[in-house]
Amino acid sequence: MALNQKYIFLDIDGTLYSPQIGKIPESALAAVKEARENGSKVFLCTGRALAGCNKYLTMDIDGFVFAAGAMVYADHKRIYDHPLDKESESLLKHIIRESGMGYVAEGQAGGYCDPIGYEVLSKYFGGLDATEEEQRRKVTENGFYPEFYEHPEERIYKVCSYVLHGRDFDTLRRRLPEEFNFTVTVRDPDFDDCAEITSAGNTKATGIQKILEYYGASVEDSVGIGDSENDIPMIEFCGLGIAMGNAMEEVKKKADWVTTPILEDGIRNAFLHIGVIEE
């Protein structure tokens, strides 16, 4: 049977990476490897900025869409770059602080957290049952640091905000100027909720379009797989949009098809569905 050759765009958190097990499921890694061997191209299309993806930079894949479309790589070349200006970064931090929430500013060299953001990410990457020392080690391994490490010349691509359970983002959402996108990216009963704030001109669809143009590829040959609200532009843009079984309900409603959850071979089953790997 002839296998399909697709341009596949994978979200990371909740799609490829599971915080429950602290890694990518083996079935997903095997599916990515097999799909590429069969002629498909695979890209990570994530809300994380470059520094937050240091564990994934050596993966055998074909490129990256970072920071929800603000930085794009194909064939080991940066083909698109659109950081926030310093005034926007300062404004976002101020609004988030005034709203009583935590934040992390994500850039090229690192992600820089205020105390609330650092605590949330320590739990997310380290796990709820880990010691404080283990949590801090894990958050550092993933490229996130206390905010005093941010150099004045660091280029920041997006800012994430964290809200404690029992509260919501309504105050922050109302205060943001129109030139920013506001997208809820994590709603998890085990962790505090997260939303990302990016320039309005950038979405994951922006990054995907840049890659397809670079290769001269058709949108009809693209597949987007994700689980959170920042994946909706990707899912709507691609020729086929797939939601994970553990995705937010809003994402499932927008998808053309829903695969199984991440820990139930969700990526492998999606790849089987689109015909880029075999049983």
Cβ distance 2 to 36 under 8 Å?
Answer: no
Does residue 13 belong to any structural domain of this protein? yes
Q: Is 273 exposed, middle or buried (0-12, 13-18, 19+ CB in 10 A)?
A: middle
Q: For residue 157, is it within any domain?
A: yes
Query: Does residue 219 sit in the same domain as residue 250?
Result: yes
Q: What is the pLDDT along the chain (279 residues), one digit of tens a residue?
A: 568 999 999 999 999 999 888 899 999 999 999 999 999 999 999 999 998 898 899 999 999 999 999 999 999 999 999 999 999 999 999 999 998 899 999 999 999 999 999 988 888 888 778 888 998 999 999 899 999 999 999 999 999 998 765 567 888 888 999 999 998 887 766 657 888 999 988 999 999 999 999 999 999 999 999 999 999 999 999 999 999 999 999 999 999 999 999 999 999 999 999 999 998
128 shares a domain with 187: yes
Same domain as 128, residue 24: no
- Of the CA atoms within 13 Å of residue 56, those in its CB half-sphere come to 28
Instruction: Say which DSSP state 12 is in.
Output: S
Instruction: Please say which residue of 199, 214, 230 terminates a domain.
Output: 199
Query: What range defines the domain where residue 63 resides?
Result: 7-82+202-274
Single residue among 175, 199, 223 that ends a domain in this structure: 199
Q: Is residue 143 part of a domain?
A: yes
Count of structural domains within the chain = 2
Alpha helices in the chain (DSSP H): 26-37, 86-98, 115-126, 132-141, 170-175, 204-215, 232-237, 249-254, 266-274
| 94 and 70, same domain (yes or no) | no
The residues near 40 (Cβ < 8 Å, ≥ 6 apart) are 4, 5, 6, 7, 8, 276
The 10s digit of each residue's pLDDT in 22-72 is 899 999 999 999 999 999 999 999 999 998 898 899 999 999 999 999 999
**Where a domain ends, among 167, 199, 231?**
199
| pLDDT attached to residue 3 | 85
Residue 79 in contact with residue 170, Cβ under 8 Å?
Answer: no
15 and 65 share one domain: yes
d(CA 228, CA 259): 14
Separation of first and last alpha carbons in the chain: 12
- Contact between 11 and 69 under an 8 Å Cβ cutoff? The reply is no
Same domain, 168 and 115: yes
At residue 84, the pLDDT reads 96
What is the spatial distance between Cα 183 and Cα 9, in angstroms, rounded to a whole number?
Answer: 19
Instruction: Please give the model's pTM, rounded to 2 decimal places.
Output: 0.87
Report whether 243 contacts 104 (CB < 8 A). Answer: no
Whichever domain contains 110, its CATH number is 3.30.1240.10
> Which CATH number goes with the domain that contains 222?
3.40.50.1000
29 and 94 inside one domain: no
Q: Does some domain include residue 2? A: no
